[in-house]
Amino acid sequence: MTQNGTGTGNGITKKEKELKIVIVGDGGCGKTSLLMVYAKGDFPEKYAPSVFEKYVTTISLGGKEIQLNLYDTAGQDDYDRLRPLSYQEANLILVCFDVTNPTSFENVLIKWHPEVKHFCRETPVILIGCKTDLRKDKECARKLKAMNLAPITYLQGEETQQQMNAELYLECSAKYKENVEDIFRRPQKQLWPSVESRRNVRGRSALYFEAKRTLGWLEHLSLLQGECHW
């Protein structure tokens, strides 16, 4: 990825032809599998918690080749203080949950929406329901039923999307590559024009306010950790 805006010879810098997408959600909710399937075409058969990874791929929009820089983040509480670094200059945030894990769904509004809203107030957000193939998995259904629980429905996802004021609610199965392409292609068609226009008004002041938001969030997080033992 080019950080210094080196020219490409056609009047458009490389950085202007890039989009930064950050994906967040509870650990194990399926966000890493989603990125790996989209960027590499490979589904990881074994779960390995990611810390902070970057995947790069390209997409064609309006005759332009756009580089997508996909930032995977760690959902575990141990990384709450490092994760804000990933949000800087993000063009899109994907908030993910596991449709067969009610806790990960509840954390969308409890944890992820407040965090994203704090650091990325003007950045578009899309809510993603992952692992839809497990809705029909008998073993998964049995375990949920034993706890008097059920998979999260599409309607529930839409209701939460509205509460978050997110742009879209989409679902996918990374394992079977269902709707994976749509998650990354559909939003970019809507976002790319606004991203180009926003770049014309960003300046050094953005760095100042970003620093203030980060410090404010860390203070807020410290209070929460002291009171709630996250």
Residue 104 near residue 128 (C-beta atoms within 8 A): no
Domain contains 8? no
Domain contains 197? no
Q: Does the pLDDT at position 207 exceed 80?
A: no
Q: Does the pLDDT at position 121 exceed 50?
A: yes
Lowest mean pLDDT among 163-167, 168-172, 193-197: 193-197
Q: Does the pLDDT at position 210 exceed 60?
A: no
Domain contains 23? yes
At 154-167, the pLDDT tens digits run 999 999 999 999 99
Number of domains in the chain: 1
- Mean pLDDT across 45-68: 80
Domain contains 128? yes
Which band of pLDDT confidence, cut at 50, 70 and 90, is reported for residue 104? Answer: very high
Q: Which residue range is the domain that position 209 belongs to?
A: 16-179+204-228
> CB-hemisphere CA count at 13 Å for 112?
31
Domain contains 193? no
pTM over cut 0.85? no
Domain contains 194? no
Q: What percent of the chain has pLDDT over 90?
A: 56
Q: Hey, what are 11's tokens?
A: 């009047």
φ/ψ of 201, rounded to 5, equals -115, 0
**CA 78 vs CA 12, 17, 36: distances in Å:** 40, 34, 23
Q: Hey, what are 143's tokens?
A: 């375990």
Domain contains 196? no
Length of the chain in terms of residues written: 230
CATH number at residue 52: 3.40.50.300
Q: What percent of the chain has pLDDT over 70?
A: 70
Domain contains 185? no
